Structure 1
Amino acid sequence: MTSKDVAEYYKTQDYHLHDTTTVEQIVEAAVKMRAEEQSCPLNYCKGSFWRYDPDLGYYKRTCHSIIQLEISEILPRIYTESGAREPRRIRQKATSQKIKATISWLETRLGLQEMDANTAIAFKNGTLYFRNICWELGEHSPSNNLTYGIEADWVEDADCPPMFNEFVRTSYGLAWLNMLRGVFAYHADPRYGCSVITMIIGNSGTGKGVTERLLEKMYSKESIGVITSGFRDLNSPEKVSQLVVGKRLIALPDLQGHQDGLGAILSLTDGGILTARALYSNITRQFVFDGRVVACSTQAPAMDNAGVGMTRRLLTLKTLDRRLESGLLPSDGVALEMMLHNEIGALLSWSLQMPEQEVKDILKLKDPAGLLQEVSLGYESQMDSVRIFIDCSLVPSESTCVPDTDYLYKAYKLLCMHLGDKACHRDNFVKRMR
């Protein structure tokens, strides 16, 4: 419903302010009445208002400015009566102070601690419910409190879409088809917590960006947070508030260079607590991120202590060195994305029917061919400069003489200069060498 429709709706309404009610209570009742009549309930959660869309089956984020506009339409329709013999109506004025007070009231009265609590996924033709160890299509319902959905139809007993199958063959090789199916199941299925970062590595033009944008097509634009620099961007409560709060997907489409400040990104993938604070506010709040993270790069990003905890959090997909020729797929990237987007409903329907244990195995980097572990181990050494130094510059010796630490660190820094990487701090280097 547009702002013009909202204004037309409230023009036909009048609200009498009695001694036993307040302006804020009347506005709340008016908002709830419209929501009931038009099947569009309003909630407040995680610092945002959410309006239910009955056609899509989920709540869409609603800007505060939209709610303020609605309140400004309601306030002039509120009146008090003055005079006993000939009562006349005195209308309320839509002042900024009254609007601000009413917003605070609605935040309190409509507030929910959590949303997306149900095991359900909204598709265009209905909501998918996990019942009796399988997915079943049912009616949309605002009681599900979903804040995202798939804007495509669910397809019962779907097979792998032909264009997607061809895309995997030409960009990854068909040996990767089952892993990609598991990745899409993980991104679509709310039963899996955020346990890994989907890391797509490959040369330019091999399909990694197409895969990343296809994952983005699963979500509405307002539910995606895009980071253009690196993991360090999340190392402040203000950035977390801007890029993570209320988001279903955190995307890093071009991750390059040395990555440090990994604290927040590690918390994203292990159920850790994140702290968020709005700009120019002193109010902080803690929450656990339950969305997904995807990143793209032309090479394994260098980072400290990659072998300790980071690589087990990366589900790494590797494209072919060069994309294969195809008589079915267009060479133009935009046309290819559109073709694959048209299959998104069938693709997710096929992916969600993948056995749960197979998806869990993929999230643990287990696959029958061992491709995930092979790729992960190969990139692990590239991400960790200290490990590269140990593997490439040191040889076993029978001597009990321990090399001088300063000498080792200088040799390590020379290697980093040669690789174009940033050397870690001397204390960290000594700790890792021990």
Structure 2
Amino acid sequence: MTLKTILLGAVSALALSGIASAETLTIATVNNGDMIRMQKLTDDFKAKNPGIDVQWVTLEENVLRQRVTTDVATKSGQYDIMTIGIYEAPIWGKQGWLAPLDKLSADARYDANDLLPPIRSGLTVNGKLYAAPFYGESSMVMYRKDLFDKAGLKMPDAPTWTFIADAARKITDKSTETYGICLRGKAGWGENMAFLTATANSFGARWFDENWKPQFDQPEWKNTLDFYVKLMKDAGPPGASSNGFNENLALFQTGKCGMWIDATVAASFVTNPKESKVADKVGFALAPDNGLGKRGNWLWSWNLAIPAGSKKVEAAEKFIAWATSKDYLNLVAEKEGWANVPPGTRTSLYQNAEYQKAASFAKMTLDSINSADPKKPSVKPVPYEGVQYVAIPEFQGIGTAVGQQFSAALAGQVTVDQALQSAQQLTEREMKKAGYPKK
């Protein structure tokens, strides 16, 4: 055997061992702008971690929730990293379904203490962080200043629902396909029910009384759903019962919505001139109220988490540290501008003068996040936590079933009264089956 042959064999063996030691992380994520941007920037992570490759599974919100819930509950190991919400993180953490992110919490460079307190608190169980926030959000009003000027209207910083409804009807011009307001109608506990539950809070409604009795047979829910259905019939776009976040974003960006009440994270997309035809015409206001002491805004974050029992914890932690770090925010700012960095996760971002200058929505976003109160979400006392959801495992199924009834009411397939009656009956049945009230 020649020296050349020996050297070639050694090089081949090294190459093969390198291939064998490379890990591929399969990441399940939601189909929205910030997550798509992260995928485009993944080469930065791979350059810094040459032994790790990344495979993306990008899904619509409702489908993502179903898939990751099934995967984590059955421990099938389909995903190495999951994108989950602030609803799932503490519930799954308590059930032992997630690996705690101890290394991140202890890493001074990562600086977990910089995470916004309302967001970090929602992802922590017994002092341990179980998911890292990629972005955080509340909800607020995004509106067309040009349409308001034309109609002689001035948006208050803190509007009432009465003002919003009146303004929506005034700026609607169906002959030009300009609709006064776009609101979520697509069925799902995190789609239409996120919006409607937060709205119901401001109407004085609640999911359950203090004894866990469902409340859809009470006048506050009737007032909420009547208001919503009538408003959308008068001033909303056609087919609204099929519209979720992405559909309404597209409508607003193309100039077809005068107002949109939805996630604060949308602000960078509606003000980005590369993506929005109305980028220079957008104003912001707090989510509306009814004078009862609660605004219709929620608290949410999309987070990255590792299923318990994963065999790729170390590699997964490295990716999560990269994607949710201060360095990642700087990377996005460098590539896309400060206005487009993922919002709502770090205190330091809101102390950054460059961000404040670039993001006209920064203060409104932070004020909205800080004003949401998951421990006291409604006007009346409740036995649960969660602003736009109820933080119990059964809520996913119940919330989606109720969402289907309310979406049908919006589509005109059933009356508001029929939808509320069905919601009351199915919620009572499922809660009884689940053993509520718990002793």
Q: TM-score, normalising length from structure 2?
A: 0.28
Which is richer in helix? 2
Higher relative contact order (CA 8 A, sep 6+): 2
Question: Which of the two has greater strand per residue?
Answer: 1
